Amino acid sequence: MQTRAFASSSPDGGQPGTEWYQNGDYLVIIVSTLIILPLSLLRNLGYLGYTSGFSLLCMVFFLIVVMYKKTQLTCPLNGFDVENATVTAMLNSTLALINESAVDYSEDVCTPKYFVFNSQTVYAVPILTFAFVCHPAILPMYEELKDRSRKKMQGVANVSFLAMFIMYLLAALFGYLTFNVNVEPELLHTYSKVYKNDLILLIVRLAVLTAVTLTVPVVLFPIRTSVNQLLCASKEFSWIRHIIITVVLLACTNLLVIFVPTIKDIFGFIGASAAAMLIFILPSAFYIKLVKKESMKSVQKIGATIFLICGILVMFSTLTLIILDWTSTSNTNGKH
């Protein structure tokens, strides 16, 4: 979906009637065929370590630019499309001098809020849950480690989680502090409304596109392994079966990218359903069921039970609210 977002940043937005290369859907198919598919067909996950490292560098560059833009943009923007911070400051100063109400308005939109509750708040927990789902890739990664051990794998997990947490936190924090109430679900789209022809932001969009593109094969690998184990666990490796499963999975992914309007919907729904199952519900249920040496009155079993109940409540409540938000949004659009 980031691929489509990048492609749609053309002046005409990739709408019907423009050139075919300005249509984000074509770009999704081309990138999937020429880059993602060959990488996804690799037999071992270890070969993707270099591409994963490069994608991480791309996201670090994205974070640096987000932090840098916070020092350039001043609030309020008042809906103007500007090219640099100097013009922004001049517009804001002029508006404040002309109309004192603009100052009161700016105090409202420029004051960061610790907690914001609205119809979009329901997406927060599922998206956070989805962001830290790495369970399917744990076993394939463990198999690729040299001199693997439980302690070494724990160290890899700790470093990975900490690094991702810091990056997500800083990107979200500086993005929100830059635009406050005007921030959009896709942060780069918010910047594109302020900077129309900014070379650095164009490079950032390309970097994010590259990072997402190189991440897809890593995600497809454990999915393909799971499908292969479910359907053909007793059979030997077959390149034909390997290629067919990969192509089908990639085709389904492309359909979601092309037909789902925003990435927020995917992150929200999958985060509230599958991610909640992987993080909250299944680990707790497995611990309660498989660990026989501890009684249900032990601290560990009580904690696992509470975790299981909370996971079920979070999953069903967020799913219900997300579906209600989709329903109300569709009804509103139908009236218009």
Q: DSSP code of 119?
A: T
Give the model's confidence band at 99: pLDDT under 50 very low, under 70 low, under 90 confident, else very high. very low
Lowest mean pLDDT among 7-21, 208-222, 285-299: 7-21
H helices, E strands: number in the chain: 16, 0
More confident residue, 107 or 266: 266
**Do 156 and 145 touch, CB atoms closer than 8 A?**
yes
| Mean per-residue pLDDT, 24-38 | 88
The answer to whether residue 149 scores a pLDDT higher than 80 is yes
Rg (CA), the chain: 23
Secondary structure (3-state) at 183? coil
Give the model's confidence band at 110: pLDDT under 50 very low, under 70 low, under 90 confident, else very high. confident
**Who's near 37: CB < 8 A, 6+ residues apart?**
246, 247, 250
Q: pLDDT (tens digit, 9 = 90+) per residue, 251-279?
A: 988 888 888 777 777 777 788 888 888 88
Among 124, 43, 115, CA closest to 317 = 124
Q: Following DSSP, what letter does each residue of 50-94 receive, concatenated?
A: HHHHHHHHHHHHHHHHHHHHHHH--S--TT---SSHHHHHHHHHH
On whether the pTM is more than 0.85, the answer is no
Q: How far is CA 211 from the centre of its chain?
A: 11
User: Is residue 177 classed exposed, middle or buried when 0-12, 13-18 and 19+ CB atoms within 10 A define those classes?
Assistant: middle
pLDDT of residue 226: 82
Give the model's confidence band at 106: pLDDT under 50 very low, under 70 low, under 90 confident, else very high. very low
Q: pLDDT (tens digit, 9 = 90+) per residue, 36-87?
A: 999 989 887 777 888 888 988 999 999 999 999 888 877 766 544 444 444 4
pLDDT of residue 119: 67
The answer to whether residue 323 scores a pLDDT higher than 80 is yes
The answer to whether residue 34 scores a pLDDT higher than 60 is yes
Give the model's confidence band at 89: pLDDT under 50 very low, under 70 low, under 90 confident, else very high. very low
